Amino acid sequence: MFEELTCTCGGCERELAEESLRLVYRTAGGERRAYECACGAVTVTVAA
């Protein structure tokens, strides 16, 4: 019924863990997180 949301790399589809977290930016509009994967790709997530 519901899909489970996960944080995965946009380059290689690996699951991104807290140790991959490089930057957190909070504003009134929400939170942005930047993750750097071992493959070299950077993935940015946005939560309102």
CA angle 40, 33, 5 (to 5 degrees): 90
pLDDT score for 40: 94
Residue 32 phi/psi, 5° resolution?
-115, 140
Residues 7 and 15 sit within 8 Å (Cβ to Cβ): yes
The residue ranges of every structural domain in the chain are 18-47
Residues 47 and 11 sit within 8 Å (Cβ to Cβ): no
| Cα distance between residue 36 and residue 16, in whole Å | 8
pLDDT score for 12: 93
| Cα distance between residue 34 and residue 7, in whole Å | 11
pLDDT, one tens digit for every residue, the chain (48 residues):
556 667 899 899 999 989 999 999 999 989 999 999 999 999 998 887
pTM: 0.77
